[in-house]
Amino acid sequence: MFWVGGPAWCARSLRRTSSLSRKEKSMKGIRMDERNRWKTSLPSNQGRLVQRNGSRWRNAGRGLVLAALLAWGLPAAAAPEPTLEQLLVEAEAIRSGDPVAFRQLLREINGRATKADKGQKAQIEYLNAYALAFSGRFNDAIKAAQALLKPEYSPDIQIRAGALIVNNYAGTRQFVEGLRQLEETLTLLPQATDESLKIHVAVAAAVLYNQIGQYEHGVRFADQVLETSKVPRELCFAGFQKAEAQFFLGELSNDDQALKAVIDGCQANKEVVLANLARQVLAQKWASQGQRRKAISLLQAHLAEIEGTRYPRLVGETHALLAQYLLEEQDIRAAEDHANRATALSANIAFSSPLVSAYRTLYEIAERRSDKVQALVQYRKYAEADRAYLNEVNARELAYQIVRQETLQKTQQISALDQKNQVLQLQQKVDQQAAQNTRLIVILLILLIASIGYWAFKIKRVQLSLKKMAETDALTGICNRHHFTIRAERALAECARNGEQAALIMFDLDHFKNINDRFGHGTGDWALKEVAEASKGFCRRIDVLGRLGGEEFAILMYGCDLRAASRVAEDCRVRLAQIETRETGHVFAITGSFGVTSTQQSGYSLAKLLSQADKQLYRAKHAGRNRVCIYDAEQESARATSNVLEMPHRDRAEHLGA
C-alpha cells in the first residue's frame, strides 16, 4: 500500500488542473506521466491508502475524471487526509517492497513528526534508520538505531532497533559487534509484547550467520521462521536466507524449483530486493555448474528492475557478477563496463564483496591487455577494497605491504604478499589459541583453588562438629566429664604457676531417681537441662562447668577462694530451688546437695579436689540434703580421730536412692 504526496500534493494538482481548464487545454495535452502521478483515494475508501502497483491506470483514470470535472467548473470531493498512524502502517508495509515510494512516504512522515506521540516518534526514528541502511549508509544507520536502545524506549522498539543493528553489522562485516548485539537483543525477547518480533530477530540472526559463514546456524534460524510464521513477507526473507546458506553449504537441490518458488513468493509480495538477491543465488548456482550464459541472461533480464531499487549492495553485486561472468566468457568490453558501474558505487558499498570483485575484474582485464601500470593501479584499489574483509591487524599489515611493494610489478612479488598475509592470519590464529589456552588454565586453577578451599572449609566444619560432640554433654550442652577433666587440670596447672587459688563446687540433685520414676525420663531430662542452664549464670568465662555423670555436676572456679566459692554454691542452691516446673505438667521441687573445697585445703590435684568435694557433698546428703557443706581440714581430722562417721558406709547408688 502506498500514499503519494498527501493532501498538499493533491491541492497543488487540483490547482494545476484548474489552470489548464482556464487556458482551454484539452486532456490530450496533459503528459501521461503527469496523469499517472494523480493518484488519490475515492471517498468510499474511507481513508484507505492507494495501491501503487497493479492500479496505475485506474488511478490515472481517476485523475482524468477530476481534471475533467474541474475543467467544467464542477466541484470535486476532497480526498480524506490519511492519519500519521496510517502513514506509518503504510511505510512499514512497503519499506523494502517499494523503496522509491517508501522514501517519498518517509519524507511526508518526517514532516508530521512534531505532532507524533512518543511511540510514533520512536517508530519514525526506526524507519529513518532503516532508510539509511537501505541506502547503504550502514554506519549512520547503526548510530541512528543505537539511539533507540535507551531504557526510555519500549522493549519492542529496542528489539527492532537491535535487529536492524545486527543486519548493519553483518553488512559492514563487524561480526564481533554483530554477535554481541544479537545476544543483547535475544535477552530482550522475553519482554516483547509482539510475538512476531521473535521471527524478526530470527531473520536478523540468519542474515548475520550467513554473512559470517556459519551457514548451518543460518539454516537453523531460517527454519525457525519457516516453521512458525505465516506472514508472506517473513517467509520471503527466511526462504532467501535458507537458499543462500544452502548454496554455500553445497546443499542446494539441483532442482531449481525451490529457489524459483522463493523468487516468486518475494516478487508476489513486492519484495523486489529479496527477489533479485535470490536471483543472484540462482545465477551463481548456474555459473558454478558451467551455465554462465544462462546466469548472465537471468541477471541482464532483471537489471533495470534491480537498478530501480537503488539498493547499492544489490546493484553493485549484480554488476560485479555480470563483470565476472562476462570476463570468463571473454566479453572484455562488457565486463569492463559492468565493473566500472560497480566501482562507481564504491562510496556506498565500501565494505562489500561487489567492490572487491569489480576491482579484481578490472585488474585482470588490465593484465590481459598487458597494461602493467593500469594493472598495478587496479590491483591497489582491489587490495584496499579487500582490506574491509580482513581484521584490523591484518588490514594494517596488508596496507603496509601494499605501500612497500607498490613499485613492484611482477606477479611473483604480489603472490609473495598474499603468502605473507596468509602466514599472518595463521599466526593470529595461533596467538588466539594460545591466549584461549592461557585463559582455560587460569580458570582451571581458580576452580581447583576454589574446590580445595571449599573442601577445607567442609572438613574444618566436620572437625569442629566432631570436637564439639566429643567435648559436650549431648543433653545439657555443657562440658562432659572427659572435657571437664582436661580443662580443669589445665586451669589448676595455670593457677599453680601463677600462685592463684582455685575452688571446686560439686553438687548432686536430691531424689532425682524419684523424679524419673514418678514423672518419666523426659521430665528428668528437662530438669537436668534447667539445672545446667541455671548453673551457667554463676560461671564466668574462665570457670569450668561440667556434668560428671547422671545428676552430678561440678564447677571449677579460677582464682576463687573457699569463702567466695561457698557463696556461689549457696546462691546456686537457692536458684535451683526456685526453678518452676509447671511447664512439664508436674509440680515437684528441684534441690541439690553441694560440697565445696579449694586448693588451699586440698592442693592443686584435681583428683584430690574431687575427692574432698565429694565427701562434703555426702555430708550434705546425710545432713538432710538441699544444703552446702564446706571442707574444713581441722574438722575432718577431728572426725577421723574420734572415728565419728557422718555417713554410714554404703553403696553410693543406694545412698542416692535413699
Closest CA to 552 of 481, 633, 642, 451: 481
The pLDDT value recorded for residue 359 is 86
| The residue type at 291 | Q
Instruction: Round to whole Å and give the CA distance between 491 and 535.
Output: 19
The pLDDT value recorded for residue 497 is 94
Instruction: Round to whole Å and give the CA distance between 634 and 450.
Output: 66
The pLDDT value recorded for residue 420 is 81
Cell of 218: 543460518
The pLDDT value recorded for residue 607 is 94
The pLDDT value recorded for residue 348 is 63
Strand order through the sheet with 628-630: 544-549, 552-558, 502-509, 592-598, 628-630
Instruction: Round to whole Å and give the CA distance between 626 and 590.
Output: 9
Cell of 629: 557443706
C-alpha triplet 159, 162, 165: angle, nearest 5°: 155
Instruction: Round to whole Å and give the CA distance between 28 and 7.
Output: 25
**DSSP label at residue 193:** S
The pLDDT value recorded for residue 406 is 57
Cell of 442: 587460569
Kindly give the parts of the chain with pLDDT less than 50: 1-76, 391-404, 643-658
Instruction: Round to whole Å and give the CA distance between 100 and 102.
Output: 5
Residues 602-641: b if buried by 16+ CB within 10 A, e if exposed: bebebeebbebbbbbbbbbbbeeebbbbbbeeeebeeeee
The pLDDT value recorded for residue 194 is 86
The pLDDT value recorded for residue 412 is 67
Give the contacts of 138 (CB within 8 A, at least 6 positions apart): 132, 168, 171, 172, 351
Strands 628-630 and 592-598: parallel
Q: Is the pTM of this model over 0.85?
A: no
Instruction: Round to whole Å and give the CA distance between 265 and 625.
Output: 107
Measure the CA dihedral 409/412/413/414, to 10°.
80
**What secondary structure does DSSP assign to 303-352, as a single string?**
HHHHHHHT-HHHHHHHHHHHHHHHHHTT-HHHHHHHHHHHHTTTTT-TTS
Sign of the CA dihedral running 423, 425, 431, 436: negative
Instruction: Round to whole Å and give the CA distance between 468 and 464.
Output: 6
The pLDDT value recorded for residue 637 is 67
Cell of 424: 599472518
The pLDDT value recorded for residue 388 is 66
Sign of the CA dihedral running 341, 346, 347, 349: positive
Compute CA distances 258 → 125, 207, 241, 244, 253, whole Å.
Answer: 37, 19, 13, 12, 8
Instruction: Round to whole Å and give the CA distance between 40 and 58.
Output: 10
